[in-house]
């Protein structure tokens, strides 16, 4: 049985984990046991989550397919549907339509060193690939993670960040824009922090996701360090409706973000008129 990407499948909230004051992780599972078993997706894909009587919105799948059974979504409450998602409690129902879109490359990057640069709630889409890489460790080279948020409270996955920090084969760096009494780590914005770390571009692919201004400055920093546009990969967020390339709501140039993306290299983005303004 494969998932129907045109119709929401009913799922139940199994766990709610508050991450920051406005962001929570929702762990969900499909009600249909066959679908629960057969639902297949790739890191970087997204789903349309629906609240009945309210609407639906696109949310990246934040867990890796290598972590079987449950799906995780990390949602910031910013409006009608995401506020309604934040009202969900364990046992409540929602609709999940997906998996949608393309995915992070996983085979093309085998043997490469990997650099992940996340900002704020840009970490969850990257985390899907980070978990995938950690679960297939022998297929990939060195792993570096650089993460930043506005404040210590705005860091998502606080427990998992500590686990990554303790892994001997992960080079982990975290910073916040402004510290507080609880924080004795680095303070400063992600792009200059990245420049100080100065990760070598040799045999490396960089993945980045975060606020548009962070991505812009991170890409400039990577280019200064010698990274090629083809080796800088991001995932785009844009207003969507159908999520399956039919309604024309999410096009840039001749591409639909929902169908041809949301994952693109900067080499691709530079060839699509208007893409870098998204």
Contact residues toward ligand FAD (CB under 6 A) are: 46, 57-60, 74-76, 78-82, 121, 124, 237-240, 262
Tell me which residues in 223-242 interact with ligand FES (CB under 6 A).
240-242
| Least separation in angstroms between CB 80 and ligand FAD | 4
Tokens of 250: 């999410």
Neighbouring residues of 239: CB distance < 8 A, sequence distance ≥ 6: 249, 250
Among 158, 162, 246, 270, binds ligand FES (CB under 6 A): 246
How many residues of this chain bind ligand FES (CB under 6 A)?
Answer: 12
DSSP state of 110: T
Among 190, 222, 250, 252, binds ligand FES (CB under 6 A): 250
Q: Residue 201 or 245: which CB sits closer to ligand FES?
A: 245
Q: What are phi and psi of 12, to 5 degrees?
A: -120, 140
Residue 241 binding: pick among ligand FES, ligand FAD, none (C-beta 5-8 Å cut-off by kind) = ligand FES
Give the integer Cα–Cα distance in Å for 247 and 107.
31
| Least separation in angstroms between CB 2 and ligand FAD | 21
- Sequence length of the chain is 278
Question: Residues 29, 10: contact at Cβ < 8 Å?
Answer: no
Among 143, 258, 263, 269, binds ligand FES (CB under 6 A): 258
| Least separation in angstroms between CB 249 and ligand FAD | 10
- Give the containing element (helix H, strand E) for 19: strand 9-20
Residue 248 binding: pick among ligand FAD, ligand FES, none (C-beta 5-8 Å cut-off by kind) = ligand FES
Contact call for residue 133 and ligand FES (CB under 6 A)? no
Among 256, 262, 263, 264, binds ligand FES (CB under 6 A): 256
**For residue 16, which of 4, 28, 1 has the smallest C-alpha distance?**
28
Bridge partners (DSSP) listed for residue 28: 13, 71
Site residues, ligand FES (CB under 6 A): 240-243, 245-250, 256, 258
């Amino acid at each position: 049985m494969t998932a129907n990407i045109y119709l929401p499948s009913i799922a139940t909230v199994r766990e709610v984990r508050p991450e920051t004051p406005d962001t929570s992780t929702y762990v969900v599972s499909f009600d249909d046991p066959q679908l629960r078993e057969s639902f297949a997706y790739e890191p970087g894909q997204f789903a349309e989550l629906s609240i009945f009587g309210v609407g639906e919105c696109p949310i990246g799948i934040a867990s890796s397919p290598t972590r079987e059974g449950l799906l995780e979504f990390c949602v910031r409450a910013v409006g009608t549907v995401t506020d309604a998602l934040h009202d969900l409690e364990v046992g409540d129902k929602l609709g999940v339509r997906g998996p949608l879109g393309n995915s992070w490359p996983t085979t093309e990057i085998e043997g490469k060193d990997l650099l992940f640069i996340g900002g704020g709630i840009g970490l969850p889409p990257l985390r899907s690939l980070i978990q995938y890489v950690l679960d297939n460790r022998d297929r990939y080279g060195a792993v570096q993670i650089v993460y930043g948020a506005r404040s210590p409270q705005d860091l998502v996955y606080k427990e998992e960040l500590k686990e990554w920090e303790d892994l001997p084969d992960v080079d982990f760096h975290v910073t916040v824009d402004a510290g507080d009494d609880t924080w004795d780590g680095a303070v400063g914005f992600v792009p200059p922090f990245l420049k100080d770390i100065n990760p070598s571009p040799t045999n490396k692919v960089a993945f980045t996701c975060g606020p548009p201004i962070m991505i812009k400055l991170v890409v400039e920093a990577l280019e200064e360090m010698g990274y090629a546009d083809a080796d800088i990969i991001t995932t785009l967020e844009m207003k969507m409706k159908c999520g399956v390339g039919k309604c024309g709501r999410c096009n840039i140039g001749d591409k639909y973000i929902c169908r041809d993306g949301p994952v693109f290299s900067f080499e691709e983005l530079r060839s699509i008129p208007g893409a870098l303004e998204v």
